Amino acid sequence: MNFLSPTSLFLFGLAIPIIALYILKLRRRREPVSTLMFWEQLFKERQTTSLFQRLKHLLSLLLQLLFLALLVLAIARPQFAFITKSARQLILIIDNSASMNAALKLDPDNPSSETRLDSTKEQALQLVQGLRFMDEMTVISNHKQPTIRTPFTSHQKTLREAIESIDPTDIRTDLKPAVDLAYTIAETKPNPEIVIMSDFHAVSEKTITLFQDTQSESQPSEEEQESVEKPKLHLIRIGEDNDNVGITQFRVRKSIVNVFDYETLLTVVNASDEEKKCSVELYFNDSLFDVRPYTLAPGEKKSEIFSNFAFEGGELKAVLDTTDALLSDNVAYATLPKRKQISVLLVTEENPFLEKVLSVDEELNLNVMNPSEYESSPKTAQVVIFDRYSPTNIGDGNFMFIYPPKSENTTEEDVQDTALTWDIGEALDTPIITDWERTHPILQHVHLENVLIGEAYQITPPSTAQILARSFESPVLFIDVAQNRKVVFVAINILQSDLPLRIAFPVIIANTIQWFQHDQGIQEYHLQTGEVLRYKFDSDYPTITETEQVEESPTGNSQQTLMITGPGDKSWEIPIENDEMLFDHTQQAGFYKVTDSDTTIISDADEQNTNEEETEEPKQLWAVNIASETESHIGITDEIEDMLTDSEVLIGSSFFRYPPWIYLILLAVGLTVVEWFLYQRRRIE
């Protein structure tokens, strides 16, 4: 035994004045009385009980000294070795993934009843209440990534606040990172115990093997105990097996056939042991436009593709019309982007094939000029195509050159000014395309075998160029990418070839325009819960002006910010760094809108009543979903059932729940009460 405050033992010196007060005799006064008859009788009675009085007086002294001893020992705070060795270090892991939002007991009349996470937090608080004074605990919340809520502490208020601060999420379950973290922490502690509170609906094989190795060990020998000390493992299951039906996939993409149409993939799974009949309601901007019935056998999964949407630029939502344990997977979200037209400027004398290909594409806003008009009044566009013409200056932008003429009077200085750094050589006699980059976005789904070419010339590309197609003699197609400029160069005269008569021709033109626009095929604004939202701005994004709202950084430099509004009208102000915004608070499924930091978003219904109020539509809209079939199966993993621990085993009471000085104080108070009844209490008869 040792003491935390050994200097307090000097208080035992107070026993000296206590003993002195008991030994000290009071001097008696003399008083004259009329007779001694009564006093002599009283004196005889006192003599018969004098021995008892002396013993009683001595016992009172011993009680007082014992009270002092208990009080001093309590102040010195004794510590016993057997109690210290039995101190536990509990590592509590609380699962707050999407499946923990399932109802603890399915109640059709009250779908929003107590959830598994609510029950988990209640049992965790009871576990904290049952901790002994020498026990310590750390709290870790986990979905697919662990978060340490509080380090090891025995302060119960801190532990309760850490547990109560754990919020529900819609992120999928992955216990392995938290388990690995717990075992790493346990290696640094003398008597660790890992407590995992979860529904254990999705546990990897490696984690199950680790659990089995930890729990199946028999009593180790002294040598094994010195070499490897494995922590105690307690698996506490929350919830029961419940029927559930969920939407596991809901994604929107542009149609491959029609660029002005969208395709939507919807997948519904029946994660129960009974046949389920339900329907899926489809909403666009909260307006119902379609209902699809489903009949699903036990464990069955059905997928359906929707197309031919007559609307654009808004929120698409699928709602499963059924009552089950997990409500969060009954709703899925998707975004329908606006159909944006691309401005294209074609500079040519006359090229009916090229004009026809560009004009039939409804996604393009085509403007045609001849070279003389362009030289007198140059115009800008997102994509500029020069057909058999080369300007004196191009600047920054997206440019496609088709068989530009060789300039005889161009000096080296002119070439540097115009950035036209290629060298046109001699004419080629009916070249044949021998090889092309089939994986490049411009030449995807393109076949160039046996293309007949009447006019072409040799070309020496710049050193920074990438050759996409070549003949035996020379490259016929290359690209050159600079910081703010993209160039596509075609070294053949398409009017003197059969390329415009092939399917490859419109495909190459469409692929080139999409490549210019950073749109490599189909673009989606869809994330899974827990993923980082990245918003990369184009180089033409407006810079900060004096009238824009900016935020002063600690260094005094102004910083542009954007506002993100998520589910439940939560909002975050996110800074923009290097033309990019990163946002990682996607714990809840729903829509996330990006707007300027000083913009107020109002609904369509409110917009009719606020015509005078200026509003701005979101810069971008993201749909965040659970999108996990595993989360819809909310039953327990079979291998875990035999390893579960009853939570009452950990919450059970212990005699040494409080430090020893508490018991010493209580014993001292008890002695005081006994002494008061024996010596200080007066009876009135």
CATH number of the domain that residue 319 is part of: 2.60.40.10
- E-strand ranges in 370-510 read 383-387, 397-402, 423-429, 433-436, 455-460, 466-471, 475-481, 485-490
- Separation between Cα atoms, residue 296 and residue 298, nearest integer Å: 7
Backbone φ, ψ for residue 586 (5° rounding): -100, 50
For position 429, which CATH number holds?
3.40.50.880
Classify residue 27: in a domain, yes or no: yes
* Residue among 200, 140, 146 nearest 630 (CA): 200
- Separation between Cα atoms, residue 596 and residue 616, nearest integer Å: 8
Classify residue 678: in a domain, yes or no: no
Give me the torsion for CA of 629, 634, 639, 643, rounded to 10°.
140
Q: State the total domains in the chain.
A: 5
- Separation between Cα atoms, residue 514 and residue 498, nearest integer Å: 24
One domain for residues 479 and 614: no
The residues, any chain, with a CB within 8 Å of residue 101's CB and separated by 6 or more, are 115, 116, 117, 168, 170, 326, 327, 328
Angle between the N-to-C axes of helices 15-23 and 50-76, in degrees from 0 to 180, rounded to the nearest 10: 170
Rounded alpha-carbon distances, angstroms, from residue 295 to 324, 404, 466: 15, 62, 54
pTM for this prediction: 0.68
Sign for the CA dihedral angle at 188, 189, 194, 195 comes to negative
Q: Please, which residues bridge with residue 342 across strands? A: 364
Collapsing DSSP to helix, strand or coil, 72 comes out as: helix
Domain boundary among 28, 50, 79: 79
One domain for residues 74 and 135: no
Angle between the N-to-C axes of helices 50-76 and 37-48, in degrees from 0 to 180, rounded to the nearest 10: 60
> Which amino acid appears at position 550 of this protein?
V
The residues, any chain, with a CB within 8 Å of residue 557's CB and separated by 6 or more, are none
> Which amino acid appears at position 607 of this protein?
E
One domain for residues 389 and 481: yes
* Residue among 386, 353, 356 nearest 371 (CA): 386
Per-residue pLDDT at 591: 93
One domain for residues 196 and 129: yes
One domain for residues 477 and 593: no
One domain for residues 367 and 383: yes
One domain for residues 111 and 184: yes
One domain for residues 30 and 118: no
Question: 77 — alpha (psi -120 to 50), left (phi > 0) or beta?
Answer: left
Give the domain range for residue 582.
Answer: 526-624
One domain for residues 91 and 233: yes
Rounded alpha-carbon distances, angstroms, from residue 514 to 62, 340, 342, 520, 629: 98, 12, 9, 6, 34
Q: Which tokens hold the place of 338? A: 């606006």
One domain for residues 331 and 389: no
Domain boundary among 338, 364, 397: 338
Backbone φ, ψ for residue 302 (5° rounding): -125, 140
H helix or E strand, kind and range, residue 261: none
Report the chain (685 residues): mean pLDDT per 10 consecutive residues. 71 76 68 72 58 61 77 72 74 94 76 84 90 88 93 93 94 92 92 92 89 69 53 89 88 70 88 90 90 91 82 86 90 85 91 91 87 88 92 87 75 50 87 90 89 91 91 92 90 92 91 78 74 72 37 53 89 86 91 74 42 56 89 86 75 60 75 70 44
Domain boundary among 495, 516, 537: 516
H helix or E strand, kind and range, residue 201: none
- Separation between Cα atoms, residue 247 and residue 281, nearest integer Å: 12
- Separation between Cα atoms, residue 551 and residue 549, nearest integer Å: 7
Classify residue 160: in a domain, yes or no: yes
Per-residue pLDDT at 680: 60
Give me the torsion for CA of 22, 24, 25, 27, rounded to 10°.
-140
Classify residue 685: in a domain, yes or no: no
For position 655, which CATH number holds?
3.40.50.410
CB atoms within 10 A of CB 408: 5
Per-residue pLDDT at 5: 73
For position 581, which CATH number holds?
2.60.40
One domain for residues 319 and 409: no
- Separation between Cα atoms, residue 187 and residue 191, nearest integer Å: 9
Task: Outline where 50-113 has alpha helix (H).
Answer: 50-76, 81-85
One domain for residues 30 and 141: no
Classify residue 175: in a domain, yes or no: yes
Alpha-carbon 150 to chain mean position? 19
Classify residue 179: in a domain, yes or no: yes
Per-residue pLDDT at 442: 92
Backbone φ, ψ for residue 482 (5° rounding): -115, -175
CA atoms within 13 A on the CB side of 631: 31
- Separation between Cα atoms, residue 260 and residue 258, nearest integer Å: 5
- Separation between Cα atoms, residue 399 and residue 33, nearest integer Å: 134
H, E, C per residue of 344-408: EEEECCCCHHHHHHHHCCCCEEEEEECHHHHHHCCCCCCEEEEECCCCCCCCCEEEEEECCCCCC
Rounded alpha-carbon distances, angstroms, from residue 157 to 161, 294, 591: 6, 50, 36
Classify residue 683: in a domain, yes or no: no
Classify residue 276: in a domain, yes or no: yes
H helix or E strand, kind and range, residue 103: none
Residue 456 contacts residue 491 (beta carbons within 8 Å) = yes
